[in-house]
Amino acid sequence: MKPVMEYQNYRVYIRDYYAERKVRSGFTWRDFAKAAGYSSPVFLKLVCDGKSNLSEVGVERVASAMGLVGVDLQYFRLLVEFNQEKDSAKKKVIFKKMREVAKEGSMEIVGEDQFDYYESWLNPVVREMAPQMGDATPAQIADKIAFGTQTAEVKKALSLLQKVGLLKKGERGFEQAAKSITTGNLEIASLSVREMHRQMGELAVRALDEIPVKERDISGLTLGVSENAFFRISQEIADFRRRISSIVMEDTGENRVYRLNVQLFPLTKDFRGGQNA
């Protein structure tokens, strides 16, 4: 099976370990539980199903039963902590520790590229700008960004974009590589996506004061809706995004980079107790 450092979810790792052992030797959940020192024969199955968590002691028991040592053991400990932590800020701290351990083991964590790309609003902006500006220097690119940006920040973005294969250096400057980047179901990448949404939301607030009215379109609605209407509106937003993407794909001669935020979120709790209208 894959090394533990290729996993983002410790429950999936444990299940894969169990499945491999079962195929090889008729291993059962009872055998697994016994090896890990649990009296309940189904406890580890409940863990894999997300119905129970591992305690600190449990982490050591299960890791020992699976024969994890050294950096693999260190990574597994952090992976359990990462998956079971609810606070996003704490999860980011844990993930950075996971990267350090993976680096020590000469490994890269699946989702690192996505995490780095989405961690800053500047990365997608530079990705769009650089190919359109020919052989422009980082300083010239920074000068054309609407919200004060340092040359060093642009250099960092350019370096990252080349590293993850989203930009490449051509004869006439940077070119956008065909490779696309997506979070998919990666929990690790979703951490930085939330950070990017926060940053973009803050820029939208700044745009109210810093961008001329004729160069922006910011509006909103406050609505009272049912659960059914919410899902219909969500679908309409998804269709709208696809139509906008089609317009952009057909466009030529880009001269600016815009950000479109589409936000639909509750301002109240359910004030009718779940009753339908």
- Tell me: the pLDDT tens digits for 179-231? 666 665 567 777 788 888 999 999 999 999 999 999 999 999 999 999 999 99
Instruction: Extract the tokens encoding 162.
Output: 């080349």
In CATH, what number does 4-85 get? 1.10.260
- Map residue 210 onto helix, strand or coil: helix
| 276 — pLDDT class (breaks 50, 70, 90) | low
Domain span(s) for CATH 1.10.260 in the chain? 4-85
Which residues of the chain does CATH 1.10.10 include?
111-218
Q: Quick one: fold of 111-218?
A: Arc Repressor Mutant, subunit A (1.10.10)
Within 10 angstroms of residue 188's Cβ, the number of other Cβ atoms is 21
- Residue range 122-145: average pLDDT? 93
Rounded Cα–Cα distance for residues 244 and 262 (Å): 12
- Average pLDDT of the residues in 54-68: 97
CA distances 38 to 41, 45, 77, 94, 243, Å, are 7, 12, 18, 27, 55
**193 Cβ neighbours under 8 A, 6+ residues apart:** 118, 183
Directed axis angle between helix 151-163 and helix 122-132, to 10°? 90
Mean pLDDT of the chain: 90
**Neighbouring C-beta atoms of residue 12, cutoff 10 Å:** 13
pLDDT given at position 277: 46
Query: Distance of CA 118 to CAs 15, 52, 124, 194, Å?
Result: 30, 31, 8, 9
